[in-house]
Amino acid sequence: MTDPAPLSPSTHTPPRRYRASGKVILLGEHAVVYGHPALAAAITPGCEVWHAAPAAPGLSLTIAAWERTFRPDDASDLGRALAALAETLGVTDAALEGVLHLPGGGGLGSSAALGVACARALLGGDDDLERTLAGALAWEKVFHGNPSGVDHTLAALGGVRRFVKGEGASRVGLRRGMTLVIADSGERASTRDMVASVAAQVAHRPAETRRTLEAIAALVRNACLALPEGDFKTLGDMMNLNQMLLSSLLLSTERLETLCAAARGAGALGAKLTGAGGGGCMVALCPDEAATVARVTAALTALGAPTRQVEVTP
Ligand code: PMV
């Protein structure tokens, strides 16, 4: 019997993974479209993209979990978004593969995270923030028409940030970490339609609707003062008030109201829908004690909602 051949070290190195975050809007969605500030926190992991061995020349993006490959000429939103991104970055050939760690269309910024991760993969790194943001904005426009930019900016920068359309994002200092419990209503609505429904209200009832949007902006300003003090009670109050104002803009649903009420009943300091509304996810702010987080999670789970816990660190 001969000795087995010595094991040679593997020459295969796994492809580099390019990552981007999801986000949860704590306050200010929709008002942000009209130039008011929003407060948002990045969620990781959001999504990962890497270069695969190309099966054919040209551009492609494969999402194995969906058993689909998207190409610029296939007329799908993702195919068109890939085309817009690649054109902005001046890239013509790349076979990308991606994995999403967030539910799609639920208000957690999954499309922006994918756009930013694809931009980073096409650029070969995350050094060129300006081109990453420009490419991801072109990508986001395919899905949302005229996005404020909060999603892809948070996807690229991470952290907890105050965002203003056209101005960008500034970091909001946190005195201590906070725990969020996010629950998926299971309902879905298009961001484009929800943004259009607010635009219709601005057109038909300009004074009232603008007052509501300004009231939302005031909540964001208060929360940005409260967070560096570690004052989560105020942030929670602002979230509850924001939910009422979003409801008055017809952006909530019965299911979202039920989930918010259950979270508050179980001890959350504040709860609201997050993102475009009409369904999607809700976010509950939990005080520090693990017991409250567990109670809020149990209350939401009892209503059949998938939940996830997010730790937001200073
Ligand atoms: O639902 P999402 O994750 O796409 O969030 C949309 C946020 C809006 O303020 C409603 C739109 C925007 O462009 O900012």
Domain containing 88: what range? Answer: 18-171
Instruction: Say if strands 94-100 and 59-63 run parallel, antiparallel, or are unpaired.
Output: parallel
Instruction: Verify that 141 and 230 share a domain, yes or no.
Output: no
- Catalytic: which of 3, 74, 128, 151? 151
| pLDDT at res. 57 | 87
- Which residue among 137, 143, 148, 212 has the greatest number of ligand 1 atoms within 8 angstroms of its CB, and so is best to mutate? 148
Instruction: Verify that 28 and 158 share a domain, yes or no.
Output: yes
| pLDDT at res. 39 | 98
Say yes or no: CB of residue 155 within 6 Å of ligand 1.
no
Say yes or no: CB of residue 191 within 6 Å of ligand 1.
yes
Write down which residue in 153, 171, 189 finishes a domain: 171
d(CA 161, CA 146): 21
pTM of the model: 0.93
- What CATH number is associated with residue 260? 3.30.70.890
Any domain includes 3 = no
Sequence-distant (≥ 6) Cβ neighbours of residue 175 within 8 angstroms: 227, 228, 229, 230, 314
Tokens of 10: 């593997």
Say yes or no: CB of residue 147 within 6 Å of ligand 1.
yes
93-117 pLDDT tens trace:
999 999 999 988 889 999 999 999 9
Dihedral, CA of residue 225, residue 258, residue 188 and residue 49, to nearest 10: 50
Task: Kindly give the confidence (pLDDT) of every residue in the chain, 314 residues in length, as a single tens digit, with 9 standing for 90 and above.
Answer: 445 555 555 567 889 999 999 999 999 999 999 999 999 999 998 999 999 987 788 999 999 999 999 999 888 999 999 999 999 999 999 999 999 999 888 899 999 999 999 999 999 998 899 999 999 999 999 988 889 999 999 999 999 999 999 999 999 999 889 999 999 999 999 999 999 999 999 999 999 999 999 999 999 999 999 999 999 999 999 999 999 999 999 999 999 999 999 999 999 999 999 999 999 999 999 987 899 999 999 999 999 999 999 999 88
Say yes or no: CB of residue 237 within 6 Å of ligand 1.
no
**Cβ atoms of residues 118 and 85 within 8 Å:** yes
121-134 pLDDT tens trace:
999 998 899 999 99
**Cβ atoms of residues 108 and 182 within 8 Å:** yes
Q: Quote the ligand 1 centre to 148 CA distance (angstroms).
A: 7
Write down which residue in 171, 201, 228 finishes a domain: 171
> How many other C-beta atoms are found inside a 10 Å radius of the C-beta of residue 58?
14
d(CA 253, CA 247): 8
Instruction: Verify that 127 and 160 share a domain, yes or no.
Output: yes
Q: Whose CA is nearest to atom 10 of ligand 1?
A: 276
Instruction: Verify that 138 and 201 share a domain, yes or no.
Output: no
Q: Which of 103, 109, 118 is nearest to 21 (CA)?
A: 109
Instruction: Verify that 155 and 231 share a domain, yes or no.
Output: no
Place of tokens 């991104």: 85
Instruction: Verify that 156 and 188 share a domain, yes or no.
Output: no
Q: What's the residue count for the chain?
A: 314
Domain count, the chain: 2
Instruction: Verify that 102 and 196 share a domain, yes or no.
Output: no
Write down which residue in 148, 171, 194 finishes a domain: 171
Instruction: Verify that 150 and 193 share a domain, yes or no.
Output: no
Say yes or no: CB of residue 295 within 6 Å of ligand 1.
no
Instruction: Verify that 25 and 157 share a domain, yes or no.
Output: yes
- What CATH number is associated with residue 158? 3.30.230.10
